[in-house]
């Protein structure tokens, strides 16, 4: 019994993002990014044509299905982009970012996209590594693109991947 307790770990399923998820998603977004997108912004995006998302929901929690992470993406005219992706800090490095991104890649492909683009801060090592592992390559750089609250600037990388 005690051994069961020690080996217990959270399990997650990746499910389509719904409008009802947007409050929680906005909260998690605010924990992981300096400028939080509010729930209305997420709702408006999700209701736009071509926009889709996925949420990672814990399936073995006692009273609810906590949100582990999410990804929001858009497909238009054969091209897809990642609008935002984040995983809760306490659930990091458990493969959720990978699984969410795979779900977005699959969905974009099934909607007819031939490539996927994204933009990432060059200094964001975790994300850059994740995208590299998923087959994304750097196709452009925007020097001094992001501005932090203290005024310092950092570059953005534009990365892309073929889907077929």
Ligand X SMILES: CC(C)(COP(=O)(O)OP(=O)(O)OC[C@H]1O[C@@H](n2cnc3c(N)ncnc32)[C@H](O)[C@@H]1OP(=O)(O)O)[C@@H](O)C(=O)NCCC(=O)NCCS
DSSP secondary structure code for residue 90 in this structure: G
Alpha carbon distance 20, 137 (integer Å): 34
Q: Is 85 in the site for ligand X (CB under 6 A)?
A: yes
Strand order in the sheet with 12-16: 12-16, 51-58, 67-76, 79-87, 115-121, 153-162, 137-147
Stretch that binds ligand X, among 5-13, 82-90, 104-112, 146-154 (CB under 6 A): 82-90
* Cα–Cα nearest to 97, from 130, 53, 67: 130
The residue of the chain with the least Cβ separation from ligand X equals 97
DSSP run (H or E) holding 45: helix 39-46
Q: Is 95 in the site for ligand X (CB under 6 A)?
A: yes
Number of residues that bind ligand X (CB under 6 A): 19
Q: Is 92 in the site for ligand X (CB under 6 A)?
A: yes
Q: Is 155 in the site for ligand X (CB under 6 A)?
A: no
Alpha carbon distance 12, 99 (integer Å): 10
Q: Is 98 in the site for ligand X (CB under 6 A)?
A: yes
| 8 Å CB contact between 85 and 28 | no
How far apart are CB 1 and ligand X at their closest, in Å?
Answer: 30
Residues 101-140 interacting with ligand X (rule: CB under 6 A): 120, 124-127, 129-130, 133
Of 9, 35, 90, 93, the one binding ligand X (CB under 6 A) is 93
Residues 30-59 interacting with ligand X (rule: CB under 6 A): 32
How much is the CA Rg of the chain, to the nearest whole Å?
Answer: 17
Q: Is 86 in the site for ligand X (CB under 6 A)?
A: yes
| Chain contacts with ligand X (rule: CB under 6 A) | 32, 85-87, 92-98, 120, 124-127, 129-130, 133
């Amino acid at each position: 019994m005690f051994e069961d307790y020690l080996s217990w770990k959270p399990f997650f399923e990746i499910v389509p993002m719904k409008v009802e998820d947007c409050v929680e998603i906005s909260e998690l977004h605010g924990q992981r990014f300096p400028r939080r997108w509010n729930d209305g912004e997420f709702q408006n995006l999700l209701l736009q044509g071509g926009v889709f998302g996925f949420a990672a929901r814990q399936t073995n929690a006692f009273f609810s299905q906590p949100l582990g992470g999410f990804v929001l993406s858009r497909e238009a005219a054969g091209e897809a982009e990642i609008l935002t992706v984040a995983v809760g800090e306490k659930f990091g490095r458990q493969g959720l970012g990978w699984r969410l991104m795979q779900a977005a890649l699959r969905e974009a492909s099934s909607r007819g996209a031939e490539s996927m683009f994204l933009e990432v801060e060059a200094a964001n090592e975790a994300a850059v590594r994740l995208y590299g592992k998923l087959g994304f390559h750097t196709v452009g750089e925007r020097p001094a693109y992001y501005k932090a609250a203290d005024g310092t600037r950092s570059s953005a990388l534009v990365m892309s991947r073929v889907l077929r």
